[in-house]
Amino acid sequence: MEMTLTKVHGSMNTFYMFESDEREDFAQLAIRLSALDPDIDGILVILPSAVAHAKMRVFNNDGSEASMCGNGLRCVARYVCERDRVQEAVIETLKALLRVKKEETLNEGIETYAVEIAPVSFSLSSLPMKYGDNSEWIHQALPFVSEKIPFSAVAVPNPHLIGIVPQEMQKDPSHQQKWAQYFNGENEYFSDGVNVSYVTPMENGIFVRTYERGVGFTNACGTAMTASALVSCMAELVPYGDVAVYNPGGMVKCSVSKQGDDIQLQLTGNATYLSVVKFDWSNNAEESSILSSESLEEQAFYEKFVGNISNLSKQFV
Ligand SMILES: N[C@@H](CCC[C@H](N)C(=O)O)C(=O)O
């Protein structure tokens, strides 16, 4: 079967995106496409929804399904808003209906979208995370990992473990890699794995590097950046409101508001289309292949934007 896929990215977190009806083979498709194109972090499937403009499912490049994907949702938001000729829409995800909207451009030539990130829970059972009898883990060291790194565990609703680290630990991500690999293998703490982010405050925001469950190190993870902005506000590293979040793939804005237990999070950033790809999905996955790829013109604008901000984030990469 010939499929048309759009290769897209949000902060260089890169996916093949396509519209489809429900099928059983999305996981195999994600694995096969990732084997053919190591640039991608997974696939985004846009499905019909009975309760929203569309439904999004996201599969990591190892075939595991995630409950949410912030960078991916911006790309899906763009697709649905352009398809339905609307400025705002509601997208059904595995655990929530989320509001999305077109925003003013981040920079010339960059399609920009804002997406709601919800629901938020600090309850360890929602990740799930098991650590003694604790019901939450907020801004405390995990002594077996390091006495010096305050960690927070939060589900948005996919699971995140976030550590605040000094600049030198961003430059050498080996500590992060070791523990993220451990928590995403056989271990007693995270039975479903976890996305692990290391965060460092900057003069005008924060820098976040993420090791994603089911993927490995990514240029950026939208839910991780938003959860990291929340944790940074709670730790008083940055004020509540709009937080500039830098990452190896660029920069996004995360808006954070917290009144008691009521937390509202929004992620704003690029939704860039890279190319249109024809893919032959045969019954035998091993034989499936990319037939053609036609580049679009948008990436040059994104690279110009990254060039403008790189003096701020290059100290971390
Ligand atoms: N890159 C995504 C998150 C993708 C899912 C994640 N790897 C998981 O398994 O939870 C984002 O932008 O949020």
Take atom 11 of ligand 1 and give the residue whose Cα is closest. 69
DSSP H or E run through 36: helix 26-36
* Binding site membership of 184 for ligand 1 (Cβ less than 6 Å): no
Domain boundaries for CATH 3.10.310.10 within the chain: 2-116+270-316, 124-267
Class of domain 124-267: alpha beta
- CA-wise closest residue to 211 among 17, 41, 3, 28: 41
* Binding site membership of 70 for ligand 1 (Cβ less than 6 Å): yes
Atom number of ligand 1 nearest to Cα 222? 12
- CA-wise closest residue to 280 among 293, 297, 261: 293
Q: Select the CATH number that applies to the domain covering 2-116+270-316 from these four: 3.10.310.10, 3.40.920.10, 1.10.3720.10, 3.30.300.10.
A: 3.10.310.10
- Residue found under tokens 């479903």: 192
* Binding site membership of 69 for ligand 1 (Cβ less than 6 Å): yes
| pLDDT (tens place) for every residue of the chain, 317 residues total | 899 999 999 999 999 999 999 999 999 999 999 999 999 999 999 999 999 999 999 999 999 999 999 999 999 999 999 999 999 999 999 999 999 999 999 999 999 999 999 999 999 999 999 999 999 999 999 999 999 999 999 999 999 999 999 999 998 999 999 999 999 999 999 999 999 999 999 989 999 999 999 999 999 999 999 999 999 999 999 999 999 999 999 999 999 999 999 999 999 999 999 999 999 998 788 889 999 999 999 999 999 999 998 877 777 77
Distance of CA 142 to the CA centre of its chain: 24
Token readout for 290 is: 């990319």
